[in-house]
Amino acid sequence: MTEKVLVARENGVLRLLFNRPEKKNALDRETYLAAIAALDAARADDGVRAVLFAGADGDFTAGNDLADFRDFLDQPGAFPALTFVKTIAAFEKPMVAAVAGDAIGVGTTMLFHCDLVYASPEARLRMPFIDLGLVPEAGASLLVPQRLGLARASQYLLLGDGFSGAEAHALGLINALAPPESVLATAMAAAQKLAAKPPAALMASRRLMRGDPTDILARIDEEAAIFAKALASPTTRERLAAFFAKAR
């Protein structure tokens, strides 16, 4: 079976490449578990000084694989998405993202935990949780208003409007734009610049800038509890069923 996360290491940077191009790199249980394992190893490895997230073949990630939501209803303890978002929220080393194509759901919310984000102008970002009868995750209900302001947060979380890479750059979510074919190289160059800096000073500065992650982790848990109840609701069941019927 093709590896769902391709892990490579270069000049102190650990690159995690989501690798399900036939599913627009949607994150399923195995993808989350592989990413969590790679991040845990990176945390303990002094030779890894930065992490880079990217997606294969033109998309970052279409977010949670909705088919896994059905599995969650049967085995909620086996659904590792919560562990993944808590891992990146508490991660102490710099994280960089290279975004092209679709960045949906957690594909957008995880960017709020990254230190540097590079994207193509045409990248498509969206957080359509409420359209499925769900609530935001990964601390987005706290971080999106903080970063973008309440009006924009309402537009992108409550209305569920999508926005482009160019719009995300104007909002300050993205550091710089690059053509789709150059986004990964641009992000890798930035990640390697971070990795070349004195690690103790880099991590300490990042910690001072971001502060204690306790509030974010608590919000993630609060979101997750509501998310789990919503996932079992008739409204969400109906909307997921409609999605799968349309996808056939």
Is 143 a domain residue? yes
In order, the DSSP letters of 60-81 are SB--B-HHHHHHHHH-GGG-TH
Q: What is the pLDDT of residue 71?
A: 62
Q: What is each CA distance from 226 to 31, 135, 205, in whole angstroms?
A: 24, 7, 34
DSSP state of 56: S
Is 246 a domain residue? no
User: What CATH number is attached to the domain comprising 82?
Assistant: 3.90.226.10
Q: What is each CA distance from 94 to 83, 112, 131, 159, in whole angstroms?
A: 19, 12, 32, 31
Is 52 a domain residue? yes
Residues in Cβ contact with 8 at an 8 Å cutoff, skipping those fewer than 6 apart: 14, 15, 17
**Residue 16 · residue 36 · CB < 8 Å:** no
- What are the φ/ψ torsions at residue 52 (nearest 5 degrees)? -120, 125
Pairing of strands 124-126, 95-99: unpaired
**Residue 175 · residue 117 · CB < 8 Å:** yes
Determine the 3-state secondary structure of 137 from DSSP.
coil
- The pTM of this model reads 0.95
The closest of 73, 118, 82, 98 to 18, measured between CA atoms, is: 98
Q: What is the pLDDT of residue 194?
A: 98
Cβ burial of 106 (10 Å; 0-12, 13-18, 19+) is buried
Is 207 a domain residue? no
Residues in Cβ contact with 67 at an 8 Å cutoff, skipping those fewer than 6 apart: 28, 244
Q: What is the pLDDT of residue 240?
A: 78
Count: domains in the chain: 1
Is 209 a domain residue? no
Q: What is the pLDDT along the chain (248 residues), one digit of tens a residue?
A: 469 999 999 999 999 999 999 999 999 999 999 999 999 999 999 999 999 999 999 999 999 998 877 666 555 556 799 999 999 999 999 999 999 999 999 999 999 999 999 999 999 999 999 999 999 999 999 999 999 999 999 999 999 999 999 999 999 999 999 999 999 999 999 999 999 999 999 999 999 999 999 999 999 999 999 998 998 888 888 887 777 666 55
Is 139 a domain residue? yes
Q: What is the pLDDT of residue 232?
A: 84
Q: Residue 186 and residue 2: Cα distance in Å, rounded?
A: 26
Please count the residues of the chain: 248
Tally helices (H) and strands (E) across the chain: 11, 9
Is 125 a domain residue? yes
Parent domain of 187: 5-201
Is 50 a domain residue? yes
**Residue 13 · residue 115 · CB < 8 Å:** no
The closest of 119, 130, 125, 146 to 210, measured between CA atoms, is: 146
210-239 burial: b if 16+ Cβ within 10 Å, else e: eeebeebeebbeebbeebeebbeeeebeeb
